[in-house]
Amino acid sequence: MSISLENILGLKVKITNVLDNVTQGKVYSFNSSNNTITLIVSRKNKTHTFKIIKTSFIKHLELVGEKHNPSSFKKDQIKPSYVNIDRVQNRLHHSIEEAKSKEKLIGKNVTYEGQFIFDLINKTISDTRWKGKSIIVLDELEIAPPYQIKNVKPVPGKKDVKSKDLIEKIVHTAWNRLENERKGG
């Protein structure tokens, strides 16, 4: 007996796909334009879990339980959940701000080594930023390309910089790690 998929909306079915995987659920919808059938496979905590199956992958479809008269079929409505628009907007704003702050940590047109050194310094000292291709640390030190220890210099106007030794150690460590990375170690 052949059954039109439009006539099984709301009925419980067991579908076996071409890989012999079995899925059981209630038919939520059938889309003839893209040949998919949507099943409600579970309901937990008042939320539904849906599974979408291409009809070309269906090996066998079997009705489970009582067969309903299609003319008396009454589709269960799924009520949409409440969405707090303010919360969504706050999350979106927060995500955008976070993305902008992460973008500031990525140097434009800098070498791999420069970005590596920047990231290593930024892990220790969060007040690190890019100024063109130079790294600025604590608004006191500037590390210009090629980012060697000899390129760690005070920002113009700063003379007594206490963090220079620490930054030079971090730059030295970074170059050691880069060298080990190149050697495969």
Q: 118-158, pLDDT tens digit by residue?
A: 999 999 999 999 999 999 999 999 999 999 999 999 998 88
Contact 58, 5 (CB under 8 A): no
- Report the alpha-carbon distance of residue 116 to residue 120 in Å, rounded: 6
pTM attached to this predicted model: 0.54
- Report the alpha-carbon distance of residue 39 to residue 125 in Å, rounded: 52
Sole residue written with tokens 């067969």: 67
* Tokens, residue 127: 């007040």
Residue 49 pLDDT level (bands cut at 50, 70, 90) = confident
Question: Mind listing the pLDDT tens digit for each residue in 62-99?
Answer: 888 766 555 444 555 667 778 899 999 999 999 999 99
Contact 143, 137 (CB under 8 A): yes
Q: Which residue has the higher pLDDT, 160 or 173?
A: 173
Contact 40, 46 (CB under 8 A): no
Residue 48 pLDDT level (bands cut at 50, 70, 90) = confident
User: 10 Å Cβ neighbour count for 73?
Assistant: 12
